[in-house]
């Protein structure tokens, strides 16, 4: 029997794929630890600020390795300081707005936003609302094309917590992502076809000026410390304002030896 397709046309990953998320993420942490020398060889940045946003139900603790790595490359890496990500509550919407403004004012320059899963959806919304203080956006397995929560393996918990969510978050339900204007800042969406939480296709943007989709091997829950994802993040953050160019794996050789994933037709 064919796997049922959701109302948005996306398939919820299988229970088996979801069950493998935790052990795969732990394995990726081990690879991350073993990749210390390689990670130190990646491009250093210009010291601009980077705000890292955690995924659904996670907190700043989950992004600690990522922020530590960003600091090793010379960036001012910040957590969001909004506690556990329980969805788009009024406190999170207002708190993120204030955090973005405060960091841009503190550093006297636009900031980069790196968002993991639901955090990437927040990052994209922040870029739309505050393009003047956002330098660029990088998302990690962020299903921004979903208009209903039933399309993911996090749906049941998300629905339980929806009573806490702000009515201001309903804009994504009223206007699907594909009908909204492109982000006004450069955006790189990192995804994995073996995602056990969301359909990887829901994490893809329409290719065009200042936006791209980059595939890596990994799990949904491990992308924040996945060495391949970190290679992409380092390359993207090192770009100077106004000098954006599409990511290419071959530009990293011989600095870093990475195997480029084989991209299939979506």
How far is it, in rounded angstroms, from Cα 61 to Cα 198? 22
| pLDDT attached to residue 138 | 98
pLDDT tens per residue, range 152-205: 999 899 999 999 999 888 765 667 787 888 899 999 999 999 999 999 999 999
| pLDDT attached to residue 266 | 37
As a CATH number, domain 15-141+186-238 is 3.40.50.1820
| pLDDT attached to residue 5 | 44
| pLDDT attached to residue 263 | 47
| pLDDT attached to residue 149 | 57
pTM of the predicted model as reported, rounded to 2 decimal places: 0.90
Tokens 């599409």 sit on residue: 246
Domain ranges (residues) in the chain: 15-141+186-238
| pLDDT attached to residue 7 | 46
Q: Which residues of the chain have pLDDT under 70?
A: 1-8, 148-150, 171-174, 251-266
| pLDDT attached to residue 9 | 75
């Amino acid at each position: 029997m064919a796997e049922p397709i959701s109302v948005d046309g996306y398939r919820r990953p299988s229970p088996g794929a979801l069950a493998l998320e935790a052990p795969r993420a732990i394995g990726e942490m081990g690879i991350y630890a073993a990749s210390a020398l390689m990670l130190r060889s990646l491009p250093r940045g210009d010291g601009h600020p980077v705000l890292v946003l955690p995924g659904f139900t996670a907190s700043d603790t989950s992004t600690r390795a990522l922020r530590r790595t960003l600091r090793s490359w010379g960036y001012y890496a910040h957590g969001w300081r909004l506690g556990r990500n329980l969805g788009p509550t009024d406190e999170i919407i207002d708190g993120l707005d204030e955090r973005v403004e405060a960091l841009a004012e503190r550093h006297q320059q636009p900031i980069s936003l790196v968002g993991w899963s639901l955090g990437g959806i927040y990052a994209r919304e922040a870029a739309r609302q505050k393009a003047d203080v956002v330098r660029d956006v990088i998302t990690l397995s962020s299903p921004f094309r979903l208009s209903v929560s039933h399309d993911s393996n996090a749906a049941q918990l998300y629905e339980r917590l929806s009573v806490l969510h702000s009515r201001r978050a309903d804009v994504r339900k009223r206007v699907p992502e594909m009908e909204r204007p492109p982000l006004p800042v450069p955006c790189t969406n990192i995804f994995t076809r073996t995602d056990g939480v969301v359909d990887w296709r829901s994490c893809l943007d329409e290719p065009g000026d200042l936006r791209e989709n980059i595939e890596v091997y990994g799990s949904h829950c491990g992308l924040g410390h996945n060495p391949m994802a970190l290679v992409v993040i380092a390359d993207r953050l090192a770009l100077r304002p106004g000098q954006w160019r599409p990511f290419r794996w071959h530009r990293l050789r011989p600095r870093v030896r990475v195997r480029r994933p084989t991209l299939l037709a979506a």
